[in-house]
Amino acid sequence: MRERTAAVRTGLAALVSVGLALGAAAQGAPPPAPKPAAPTPDPALEAARAAFEALPEPERRAVQDALVWTGDYNGVTTGGFGRRTFEGIATYQRRTGGTPTGQLGPSERTALASAAEAARKAARFRVQTDGASGAAIGVPERLLSKRSLLPGGTRWQSADGRVTLDTRSFPPGTTNLDALFERATAASPERKVTYKLKKPDFVVVTAETATGRSYVRYALGEAGIRGFALGYDRAMAAEVEPLVIAVANSFSPFPAEGASPSVAPPPSAAVAAPKLAPGPGPNFAAPPLAPPTSEAHASATGLNLGGGRVLTAASALENCPAPRVGGLPARSEGAGPVVVLRVEGLGGGAVPPLRTEAPGADEALLVLAVESNGGRSVAPGVAGPGGVFAPLQPGAGGAPVLDRAGRLVGLVARAPAGPRLIAGVMPPTRYPIVPGNAVAAVLKQSGVTSAPAPASAASPSGAAAPVLGAVVGIVCGR
């Protein structure tokens, strides 16, 4: 009887379900789709996962990084385990004559680490903190043997120019991730974006043209935006693409103060590296983003001190009979190597701390300039006898020169009259500067009080940030 009752109940339940489905269908609604069956767990994958996750996190990340160098893994080195890590280990085991279990014993991990270290040494891969941008990044120096300074970064390039790695930095307030992402994803008939990812604190873009490919990444932090772009000839894809992954995994945009750069980035900085498939790509690295335009066709640079006063070098105004700042007429006061322009109605301004002693030989400096297109730039420089060795362009005459503590050490006396580009790169050149003691004398005469000296040195972007907003373009009228 009980069995019969249960059968009746089952049958009624089935009829109710069918009736509900038919009623829904009659009202135009499709019947509910059956739930997909849960995937069957892969015992080998799960066993490998358990063995991998039993290792300390540094060892897990070291295994992934080593697999990158042996060419068996093309993912991000977070220490997490997934199908890609499992297949990478199995591929390495299969290639070296082992059993492809996806689990590495102690001796296998040792052998893998040795093979990866040999590959790193062969590439002369060195993770270093780039003084120009403040970011830490790994550089395969055997391939990228040429090095030069860029505004806010460094360029490493192969001897034949077919591979280029640029670091880039933008102080707070000079640009934003949206603008950088828009520029990096701009398509054209010659260029196709193949991958793009935008998050609140980082962006990644890859693109290709008929002759090359590029990988661009930016990260946002309290110190501003830092990133890198790596571009290469498509014919070198087999050699370069494993290095692209190694460089991306090594990149740490805001390394801890005083910490040694590590091979793998912290999980918060990790970005899933898109798989780089064979095919045509972009012409080398994507061009750097021009800083925001403040005033077009600037002929010189000045420092807005506030109160309608702009500091600049007299030599920058030799051929400027009617200077204007922000569209307002400016009147020169005083004589000598340093002048103060009076600009009625000009707001804002900042006075950096002064340094009257000359910078030491080869001391790192920063030049804050307004170029001919009106965009602000922060160019890294090196002190030399009576001047600064930096990649400057027209419009940089009169630009403030800071040390890495953010103190004003002088003004650029003269800048090139025409653009100087060699193979598309701004070459560093020596430019004379008006020394800080001459600037201090003029400020004292004008009644301008400088800011107190900082307690310690800052990052390049941190040193430039308090002053960059006060850098203005000077337009010369006739």
Query: pLDDT tens for residues 386-426?
Result: 788 887 878 889 999 999 888 999 999 987 766 554 443 45
pLDDT at 24 over 60: no
Residue bearing the bigger pLDDT, 315 or 286: 315
Please give the pLDDT value at position 150: 85
Count of CA atoms in the C-beta half-sphere (13 A) of 248: 32
Given pLDDT bands bounded at 50, 70 and 90, which one contains residue 12?
A: very low
Given pLDDT bands bounded at 50, 70 and 90, which one contains residue 458?
A: low
What is the dihedral sign for C-alpha 117, 118, 119, 124?
Answer: positive
CB proximity list for 397: less than 8 A, separation 6 or greater = 299, 300, 301, 312, 313, 315, 316, 412, 413, 414, 415
Residue bearing the bigger pLDDT, 246 or 76: 246
Residue bearing the bigger pLDDT, 22 or 453: 453
Please give the pLDDT value at position 404: 86
Rg (C-alpha) for the chain, rounded Å, is 30
H or E element, residue 228: strand 224-233
Task: Determine what percent of the chain is predicted with pLDDT higher than 90.
Answer: 40
Closest CA to 158 of 123, 203, 121, 189: 123
Residue bearing the bigger pLDDT, 87 or 40: 87
Other CB atoms within a 10 A radius of the CB of residue 257 amount to: 7
Residue 160 phi, psi dihedral angles, 5° rounding: -95, 0
Looking at CATH, the fold of the domain delimited by 126-269 is given as: Protein Transport Mog1p; Chain A (3.40.1000)
Q: What is the mean pLDDT of residues 29-37?
A: 59
C-alpha span between 159 and 175 (Å, rounded): 32
134-160 burial, b for 16+ CB within 10 Å, e for fewer?
A: bbbbbbbeebbeeeebbbbbbbbbbee
Angle 246-251-256 from CA coordinates, rounded to 5°:
140
Domains of the chain, residue spans: 44-121, 126-269, 290-478
Given pLDDT bands bounded at 50, 70 and 90, which one contains residue 240?
A: confident
C-alpha span between 245 and 224 (Å, rounded): 24
CB proximity list for 199: less than 8 A, separation 6 or greater = none
What is the total residue count of the chain? 478
Cβ(221)–Cβ(202) below 8 Å? no
pLDDT at 277 over 50: no
pLDDT digits over 39-53, tens only? 677 889 999 999 999
Q: What is the mean pLDDT of residues 372-390?
A: 77
pLDDT digits over 352-368, tens only? 899 989 898 888 899 99
Angle 340-346-352 from CA coordinates, rounded to 5°:
55
Pick from 4-8, 137-141, 282-286 the range whose average pLDDT is largest: 137-141
Structure tokens at 42: 């892969």
Task: Determine what percent of the chain is predicted with pLDDT higher than 70.
Answer: 77
pLDDT at 140 over 90: yes
Identify the DSSP state of 268. G
Q: What is the mean pLDDT of the chain?
A: 79
C-alpha span between 346 and 398 (Å, rounded): 18
Given pLDDT bands bounded at 50, 70 and 90, which one contains residue 372?
A: low
Pick from 66-80, 159-173, 180-194, 328-342 the range whose average pLDDT is largest: 159-173
Q: What is the mean pLDDT of residues 287-312?
A: 69
Angle 381-301-173 from CA coordinates, rounded to 5°:
75
- Cα 178 to chain centroid, rounded: 14
pLDDT at 156 over 70: yes
Q: Which amino acid is at 104?
A: L
What are the angstrom distances between the C-alpha of 217 and each of 65, 226, 369? 19, 8, 25
SS3 content of the chain, % helix, strand, coil (to 5): 25, 30, 45
C-alpha span between 265 and 252 (Å, rounded): 5
pLDDT digits over 309-350, tens only? 999 999 988 888 889 998 889 988 777 899 999 999 888 888
C-alpha span between 159 and 146 (Å, rounded): 6
Please give the pLDDT value at position 305: 92
Residue bearing the bigger pLDDT, 266 or 149: 149
C-alpha span between 370 and 345 (Å, rounded): 20
Given pLDDT bands bounded at 50, 70 and 90, which one contains residue 11?
A: very low
- DSSP secondary structure letters along 57-88: HHHHHHHHHHHHHTTS--S--SS---HHHHHH
Count of CA atoms in the C-beta half-sphere (13 A) of 280: 7
Please give the pLDDT value at position 177: 93
Helix (H, G, I), strand (E, B) or coil at 115: helix
Please give the pLDDT value at position 32: 61
Cβ(249)–Cβ(263) below 8 Å? yes
Please give the pLDDT value at position 238: 81
Give the range among 176-180, 218-222, 445-449 with minimum mean pLDDT.
Answer: 445-449
pLDDT digits over 468-478, tens only? 888 999 988 75
Other CB atoms within a 10 A radius of the CB of residue 33 amount to: 6
pLDDT at 151 over 80: yes
Given pLDDT bands bounded at 50, 70 and 90, which one contains residue 371?
A: low
Q: What is the mean pLDDT of residues 108-121?
A: 91
Count of CA atoms in the C-beta half-sphere (13 A) of 196: 16
Helix (H, G, I), strand (E, B) or coil at 354: strand
Looking at CATH, the fold of the domain delimited by 290-478 is given as: Thrombin, subunit H (2.40.10)
Please give the pLDDT value at position 7: 43
pLDDT at 431 over 70: yes
Structure tokens at 10: 């089952």
Structure tokens at 358: 């000359």
